[in-house]
Amino acid sequence: MSRLKELTGIYEKGSTHWVGDGFNVRNLFPSNGLEQEVSPFLMLDYAGPTVFGPGAPRGVGEHPHRGFETVTIAYQGSIAHRDSAGHSGVIRPGDVQWMTAASGVVHEEKQEPEFARTGGTLEMVQLWVNLPKAYKMSPPRYQNLVREQIPVIEMDRGTLRVVAGEHGGVRGPAGTFTPVSVFDLRLEAGGRVALDLPDGFNTSLVLLHGNVLLNGSHALEGEARIAVFDPKGERVDVEARGDSSLLVLSGEPIREPVASYGPFVMNTQQELRQAVDDYRAGKMGHL
């Protein structure tokens, strides 16, 4: 019988703010001081749900990244992306964009023109995933994972989409630099699932909205909350008391120093200064 991962804490959002003029976000980490507990994940912003009226595309203009990956998961609304490495695309509901900034890239994220023209509800998650030192200066990479590419595990009163990692022999399409699992879990009231997760991996469940019981005894309810578990163990049990949407994050910790400054995440302060200098010198490109 697999061992349960013990719940170590439940946390509210640490901050609420706008990113550019298009993303009204609730930050789950690092604003809660959970850097060690969630490694290799660095940041999670839950954007929306926010209703926008018709108008010009809103979002975030040209800005750089180096040393990590950004993962954008769309639930409602559409975002257009383009970057200095020549990649572009539209993230629609059910799609995932996995962008490896690595040695450096400049990009923008704005409402897709048709969505902006008609208006509507925008709901997305952006997750930052750290890269080990050995890969921080590797070439940028872009994975556009459309909804049809992401396998769905049907269960009684629910579904689990495997974006990255593996569950029940089903592997997600995202290529990763270290072992991580990212699952999009939807449960109707009464639905249950036993999540199989590797022993020794940091694990957290992000409740976007809903009401669930964890490991038979811990209530997680409301919106924008995160439950964190001890790495020891191989299973987390989830029972839905109401219709619920969750994001399951699990990964092997990266046990290296982390130095961060805005859009750059490296290992040392000297590397951060170099990142700023390289961006200002145009070495990460421009749109």
Task: Assign 176 a pLDDT band (cuts: 50, 70, 90).
Answer: very high
Domain boundaries, the chain: 7-280
First to last CA, the chain: 53
43 touches 13 (CB < 8 A): no
How far is the C-alpha of 166 from the C-alpha of 268, rounded, in Å? 33
Nearest to 136, CA basis, from 257, 6, 1? 257
Specify the fold of 7-280.
Jelly Rolls (2.60.120)
Say what the pTM is. 0.96
41-69 mean pLDDT: 97
- Could you give the CA distance from residue 64 to residue 217 in angstroms, rounded to a whole number? 44
How confident is the model over 179-191, as pLDDT tens digits? 999 999 999 999 9
- For 145-158, what is the mean pLDDT? 96
Angle made by CA atoms 99, 105, 106, in degrees to the nearest 5: 105
Residue 61: its pLDDT value, please? 95
pLDDT averaged over every residue in the chain:
97
Supply φ then ψ for residue 18, to 5 degrees: -95, 140
d(CA 164, CA 58) in angstroms, rounded, equals 29
Which two three-digit tokens encode residue 136?
Answer: 């921080």
* Tens-digit pLDDT profile for residues 75-98: 999 999 999 999 999 999 999 999
The residue among 286 and 216 whose pLDDT is bigger is: 216
DSSP summary character for residue 140: P
- Quick check: 201 and 250 in contact, CB under 8 A? yes
Q: What is the pLDDT of residue 244?
A: 98
Q: How far is it, in rounded angstroms, from Cα 10 to Cα 32?
A: 10
